[in-house]
């Protein structure tokens, strides 16, 4: 039985493979003269943020204020970039408190928000977020200069540069197709940069990119700092993305699940369902599945079949599932069970779990 000491379902993380993934992207970024500011939304864990920084990252990104609060409160010493605008009076009060204890930079995309942040009187580093094609947050490229000028007029705000992230292209499997899409997105950022510079403001930082655009961002050198998140843990969705020969990554993240029943020869039931592995990007795959396949069978259960043939597993057996989407699966667990080549070395709390506020 694999991992006999671990109660299931559990989220396993192979630290040897994590280190290989972290080093692979860090070395490539450093060799290209670019900085890495990995996105902590994928792992939400102090120890993993620390590992990334010890190996060369300049800081981390957080998707939400609460994620940064949790990581800072639990001891991650880092420069934090909050990559979603922080809007509303309650959140801004919390931001001001956090900025007293941690180095914070954040993005803005609205004039009212800039005015409100300026009124706090607390010194904050600010990036203007540009919508480079995702159609989510961010000003249109033509409006970046005006907002940058407004930021620079607030005494307590320091305009540092731009953020441009295009999430929808990250999972495009073909490297060639993805390259064309990244070029398009970065042209929008370049247009914004030109306009901001023409308005007399220096653009010191250009932050963006993900695990899928990474090899292309290295070549283009449009961004100064890269924000990949999933590259640490990976998932089956990302495994389909062609990252180019030198950048391929392993899969350290699995869900350990136990067979609890085999009511008929061709169907085994395991103790992992929708509460144990996310389904937004499809079903997880079985590690070393040997012809077996996993299906969701409700909140608490999954079913394993073998194309109609009798399954080669029995109650008490353990299986490992590779999640289809790492971020949303990690967010289901309180901690990672850390192992090196199958030997458990401890647990790391996922302190940012559920911290979406
Ligand atoms: C702003 C931002 N940057 C970076 C990332 C990291 O992307 P990935 O997990 O694809 O590496 C994300 C992910 O959603 C993001 O929202």
Per-residue pLDDT tens over the stretch 152-204:
999 999 999 999 999 999 999 999 999 999 999 999 999 999 999 999 999 99
Per-residue pLDDT at 342: 87
Sequential DSSP letters for 190-215:
HHHHHHHHHTT----EEEE--TTTHH
Any atom of ligand 1 within 6 Å of the Cβ of 233 = no
Task: Give CA 265 to chain center in angstroms.
Answer: 40
Any atom of ligand 1 within 6 Å of the Cβ of 210 = yes
Any atom of ligand 1 within 6 Å of the Cβ of 39 = yes
Instruction: Give the rounded percent of residues in the chain with a pLDDT score beyond 70.
Output: 100
Q: What is the three-class DSSP state of 144? A: helix
Ligand 1 centre and the CA of 135: distance in Å? 15
Ligand 1 atom closest to residue 208's alpha carbon, by position in its atom list:
3
What is residue 306's DSSP assignment?
A: B
Ligand 1 centre and the CA of 334: distance in Å? 22
Quick one: tokens of 7? 């109660």
Per-residue pLDDT at 246: 78
Among the ranges given (38-52, 78-92, 244-258), the one the predictor scored with the smallest mean pLDDT: 244-258
Sequence length of the chain is 357
Any atom of ligand 1 within 6 Å of the Cβ of 265 = no
Average pLDDT over residues 111-120: 97
Q: How does strand 318-322 pair with strand 157-164? A: unpaired
- Residue 176 has φ and ψ, to the nearest 5°, of -65, -45
Element (DSSP H or E) covering residue 319: strand 318-322
78, 153, 208, 230 from 9: Cα distances, Å: 32, 53, 34, 22
Ligand 1 atom closest to residue 231's alpha carbon, by position in its atom list:
11
Any atom of ligand 1 within 6 Å of the Cβ of 165 = yes
Ligand 1 centre and the CA of 21: distance in Å? 16
The answer to whether residue 131 scores a pLDDT higher than 80 is: yes
Per-residue pLDDT at 309: 97
Q: Which residue has the higher pLDDT, 342 or 176?
A: 176
Per-residue pLDDT at 248: 84
Question: Nearest-CA neighbor of 166 among 151, 149, 150, 180?
Answer: 180
Residue from 22, 28, 68, 167 to probe ligand 1 pocket by mutation (most atoms less than 8 Å from CB): 167
14-34 pLDDT, tens digit per residue, is 999 999 999 999 999 999 999
Quick one: tokens of 323? 């999640």
Ligand 1 centre and the CA of 292: distance in Å? 32
The answer to whether residue 2 scores a pLDDT higher than 90 is: no
Q: State the alpha helices, DSSP H only, in 284-346.
A: 326-330
Instruction: Give the rounded percent of residues in the chain with a pLDDT score beyond 90.
Output: 97
Ligand 1 atom closest to residue 165's alpha carbon, by position in its atom list:
1
Ligand 1 centre and the CA of 124: distance in Å? 22
Distance CA 119, CA 289 (A): 58
Q: Is there a contact between 205 and 127 (Cβ–Cβ < 8 Å)?
A: yes
Quick one: tokens of 130? 């540009």
Per-residue pLDDT at 1: 59
| 349: CB partners within 8 A, 6+ apart | 45, 46, 74, 334, 335
3-state helix, strand, coil in the chain (%, to 5): 30, 25, 45
Confidence band, pLDDT 50/70/90 cuts, at residue 133? very high
Distance CA 231, CA 237 (A): 12
Peptide bond into 9 cis (omega under 30): yes
Q: How does strand 10-14 pair with strand 335-340? A: parallel
Per-residue pLDDT at 11: 98
Ligand 1 centre and the CA of 70: distance in Å? 19
């Amino acid at each position: 039985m694999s991992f006999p000491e671990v109660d299931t379902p559990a989220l396993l993380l192979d630290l040897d493979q994590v280190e290989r993934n972290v080093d692979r992207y860090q070395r490539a970024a450093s060799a290209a003269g670019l900085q890495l500011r990995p996105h902590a939304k994928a792992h939400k864990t102090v120890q993993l943020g620390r590992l990334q920084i010890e190996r060369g990252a300049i800081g981390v990104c957080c998707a939400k204020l609460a994620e940064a609060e949790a990581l800072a409160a639990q001891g991650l010493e880092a420069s934090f970039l909050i990559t979603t605008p922080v809007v509303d009076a309650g959140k801004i009060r919390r931001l001001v408190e956090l900025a007293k204890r941690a180095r914070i930079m954040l993005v803005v995309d609205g004039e009212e928000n800039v005015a409100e942040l300026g009124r706090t009187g607390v010194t904050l580093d600010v990036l203007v977020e540009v919508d480079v094609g995702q159609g989510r947050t961010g000003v249109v490229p033509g409006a970046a200069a005006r907002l940058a000028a407004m930021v620079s007029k607030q005494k307590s705000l320091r305009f540092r540069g731009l953020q441009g992230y295009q999430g929808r292209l990250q999972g495009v499997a073909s490297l060639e197709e993805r390259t064309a899409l990244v070029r398009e997105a970065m042209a929008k950022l370049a247009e914004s940069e030109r306009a901001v510079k023409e308005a007399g403001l220096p653009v010191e930082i250009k932050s963006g990119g993900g695990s899928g655009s990474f090899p292309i961002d290295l070549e283009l050198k449009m961004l100064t700092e890269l924000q990949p998140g999933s590259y640490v843990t990976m998932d089956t969705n990302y495994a389909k993305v062609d990252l180019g020969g030198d950048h391929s990554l392993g899969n350290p993240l699995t869900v350990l699940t136990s067979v609890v029943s085999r009511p008929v020869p061709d169907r085994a039931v395991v103790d992992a369902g929708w509460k144990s592995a996310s389904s937004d990007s499809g079903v997880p795959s079985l590690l070393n599945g040997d012809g077996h396949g996993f299906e969701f069978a409700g909140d608490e259960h999954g079913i394993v079949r073998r194309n109609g043939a009798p399954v080669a597993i029995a109650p008490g057996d353990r299986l490992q599932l590779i999640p289809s989407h790492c971020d949303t699966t990690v967010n289901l667990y309180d901690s990672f069970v850390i192992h090196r080549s199958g030997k458990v070395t401890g647990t790391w709390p996922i302190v940012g779990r559920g911290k979406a506020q």
